[in-house]
Structure 1
C-alpha cells in the first residue's frame, strides 16, 4: 500500500506543478499583452470574440472600445473587424462589431468586415488580404491582452507590419487566459508561430 500512496502523492505534486505553470504562463501572457504600445498605422484589425446576436461579449466590447479610442486619437484611419459566425452565434462577429462601432460614432465607410475566419490564424490571413486590396501597409492588431502575444507572433510569421494594442481583460476572463496557454503551445507545435518571447 505504501507504493500506492507514493504514486498518488507524486501524481498530486505533478498536477499542482502543472497548474502552477499554467497560472504563471497565463499571467505572463496578460502582462506581455498589456506591455505593447501601438504605433500610428493605416488600419486597426479587431479580432473577434463571442457575440450574442448583436450584443458583443464583454471581452469583445473591450476590444472595440480600444479600437474606438485609437481611431479618435488618430492612431488608425480605418478599422477591419474580423470574425465569422460560430455555431452558437446568429450573426457574424464582424457584423456585430461593425454595428457597435457605427453606433459609437465610427463612420460606416471606415469599417471593413471580414466574415470568414474561425480562428486567430484565419483572422490575420483574411485581414491581411483586405489590407492589400485597400492599400493598407501597416496595422495595429487589437485583441484581449492575453491573446495579443500569439496574435502578434502569427502576424510576424505572415510578414505583416503590425504593432499591437491589448485590451485589458477582467478577472472573470482568467479561464480564457488559461485556455490561451494551450492555444499558444498548440500554435508553436504546429509551426504557425514562434514563441512570443522570441518573436
Structure 2
C-alpha cells in the first residue's frame, strides 16, 4: 500500500513538473498575433507604478501602445489599472495617461479604467468600456510572458477574436516574472474550476 501511495504521489509531482515546464515554454516563446489587423481599440494592461511615474516595465507596454497607435492599428486606447498604493497620487491608468500625453497622444483618444486590481478585472472592466462605445474588436497590449493568460481570459470573457501585441521585456527579471506568471496562471485555472472567475 505504501508503495502505491508513493507511486501515485510521484506521478502527480511528475505531471505537475511537466505541466509547469510546458507553460514556462509557452510564456517564454509567446509572440504577438501574426498579421495583426486594425482594431477598434488597444487595451494596455496595467503594471506597477513607481511613485508618480510608470515603472520601467510598464513603460515598455506603453511604448508598444505608442507603436501600434502610430502605425494606425488602433486609434483609441483603454488604459486599465487601479491604485497600487493608497499613498500614490495616481492610479496605474492615470500614470499611463500622463506618459502618453507627454508623447503626443491626444487626450480624446485615451480612455481610463481606474478600478482594476488584476488581469481579469483589467479585461472585464475594459470590455464594459468597449460595450459603452460600441467597439467590438481589441488589441491587448502587454508583455510576452503575460500574453497567453491575458488571451485566455479575454476569450473566456467573450471578446471577439482578441489579438495580442506583445513586448519582450528588457528590464524585468525573466526568472521572477515567469515564476510569478506560472503561479498566477494556476490561480486563474483553479478559479475557473471553482466557478470564481
Task: Bin the TM-score by the shorter chain.
Answer: 0.7 to 0.9
Distance 1:116 1:148 in 2: 21
1:169 paired residue number: 169
Name the SS of the counterpart of 1:150 in structure 2.
helix
- Maintained 8 Å contact 1:41/1:138: yes
Which residue number corresponds to residue 196 of structure 1? Answer: none
- Contact 1:23/1:178, CA 8 A, preserved across alignment: no
* Distance verdict in 2 for CA 1:35–1:76, change over 3 Å: closer
C-alpha distance in structure 2 between counterparts of 1:66 and 1:59, whole Å: 11
Query: TM-score with structure 1 length normalisation?
Result: 0.81
Structural mapping, 1:50-129, within 5 Å: 50-87=48-85, 90=88, 91-129=90-128
Pairwise CA distance, 1:44: 0.2
For 1:143-182, list aligned pairs within 5 A: 143-161=142-160, 162-170=162-170, 172-182=173-183
Q: 1:54 Cα shift?
A: 2.5
Gaps of 5+ in 2: 1-9
1:59 offset after TM fit, Å?
Answer: 1.5
Offset at residue 86 of structure 1 (A) = 1.8
The 3 A distance-change label for structure 1 pair 188 and 136 is: same
CA root-mean-square deviation: 2.4
CA-CA distance at 1:22 after TM superposition: 4.5
Moved over 6 A (4+): none
Aligned equivalents of 1:23, 1:89: Cα separation in 2: 39
* Residues 89, 111 of structure 1: alpha-carbon distance in 2 compared, 3 angstrom cutoff: farther
Contact 2:49/2:84 (8 A) holds in 1: no
Structure-2 change in CA distance of 1:26 and 1:57 (3 Å): farther
Instruction: Give 1:112 deviation, angstroms.
Output: 0.3
Gaps of 5+ in 1: 1-10, 193-199
How many correspondences in the alignment?
179
Task: Return closer, same or farther for 1:23/1:104 CA change in 2, 3 Å cut-off.
Answer: farther
Alpha-carbon offset, residue 36 of structure 1: 2.6
Equivalent of 2:23 in 19, 22, 25: 25
Cα distance change, pair 21–160 in 1 and its aligned pair in 2 (3 A): closer
Is the contact made by 2:26 and 2:148 (CA closer than 8 Å) also made in structure 1?
A: no
Paired residue for 1:185? 186
1:52 CA drift (Å): 1.3
Aligned with 1:184: secondary structure? helix
